[in-house]
Amino acid sequence: MPPEANEDRIILYREALHEALAEEMQRDPSVFIMGEGIGERGGSYKVTADLLQQFGPERVIDTPIAEASFTGAGVGAAITGMRPIVEILFIDFCLLALDPIINQAAKYKFMTGGLGRVPLVVRTQGGSGTGVAAQHSQSLEAIFYHIPGLKVVMPSTPYDAKGLLKSAIRDEDPVIFIEHKLLYTAKGYVPEDEFLIELGKGDRKREGKDASIIAWSNMIPRTMEAAGRLAEEGIEVDIIDPRTLVPLDAPLILESVRKTNRAVIVQEAIRRGGVASDIASIIQAEAFDDLDAPVEIVAGKNTPIPYNEALERASIPQAEDIVNAVKRVFYG
């Protein structure tokens, strides 16, 4: 959790990301950003608003609608010593750029015997909740989680968003930085002084003794809502936010599970082939004897995201689903 300091400074998630970009561009002239509509328009979610005016068109580059091309340009720029931040408007559109991301950026360090580096950040956003249907609402983090050589970051709060983005920009490896469309207007404390959050360090969002919930991104607000309901019934949950899926803070997750003896993992993505299943396997392998109940996974349905609002809600986890899962592991 953020340190207790001047907690009067409450800003939006998107403002925290904006601050991180501006500060890193000011600090390091090799940092530049590129993507669709990020300059004149300031980005669809206003994360890059006014950066064109501050840093000029050579460092804030509006691109054509050609994800494979400009992502490939970003990979090349990173290899030659720059620190590009490539914004892909929807994570769904990352599918058009998988070759430069997976076959080039992720493998370059390995294939050069550790001599080459690709300090690239791919900023994108995913998830559902705004009625933009099946081609603009996916949660595809498992694709990148599966690939050796990539780091995967999914912040849930403004504080985490800023600290993790600054660290991602300074990292020597390619980082997939996934935001959630419903979090851009979320508010939270962010200190004025500079701070970094180390990639691979999770965070305990709530202290509890009765069950562990592991969740990330927009499932953290859902989980916090569920925790409030459970507390009214006398069940106190320990909420662990990995913040980065790669590297994963497995020690923090296992510490929590060994304390509570119960685990519920929550992801918005569909269950099949998801990150939650891999985390469950880690818990089963490392903390099986500590469990008093089987690990529960709460995940999206194995279906494309519907356009209809009611069906969209039904396809992904809600607070009630999390409450019920915790009750199953608690009561047996």
Query: Which of the following CATH numbers is that of domain 10-189: 3.40.50.970, 3.30.70.980, 3.90.1150.140, 3.40.50.1000?
Result: 3.40.50.970
Pairing assessment for the beta strands 187-189 and 10-12 based on DSSP bridges? antiparallel
The full DSSP string for 108-137 is HHHHTTT------EEEEEE---SS--TTS-
Q: How confident is the model over 38-92, as pLDDT tens digits?
A: 999 999 999 999 999 999 999 999 999 999 999 999 999 999 999 999 999 999 9
Position 286 scores a pLDDT of 98
Where are the CATH 3.40.50.970 domain residues in the chain?
10-189
- What average pLDDT does this structure show over 229-242? 98
Q: Is 296 designated active site?
A: no
Position 1 scores a pLDDT of 59
Which residues, other chains included, contact 154 with Cβ-Cβ below 8 Å and sequence gap of 6+? Answer: 141, 178, 180, 216, 217, 242, 243, 244, 245
- What average pLDDT does this structure show over 235-244? 98
Q: Write down the catalytic residue from 18, 19, 136, 179.
A: 136
Domain 203-331 fold is: Rossmann fold (3.40.50)
Where are the CATH 3.40.50.920 domain residues in the chain?
203-331
Q: Write down the catalytic residue from 15, 24, 36, 67.
A: 67
Q: Is 146 designated active site?
A: no
pTM: 0.96
**Sign (positive or negative) of CA dihedral 6, 123, 270, 201:** negative
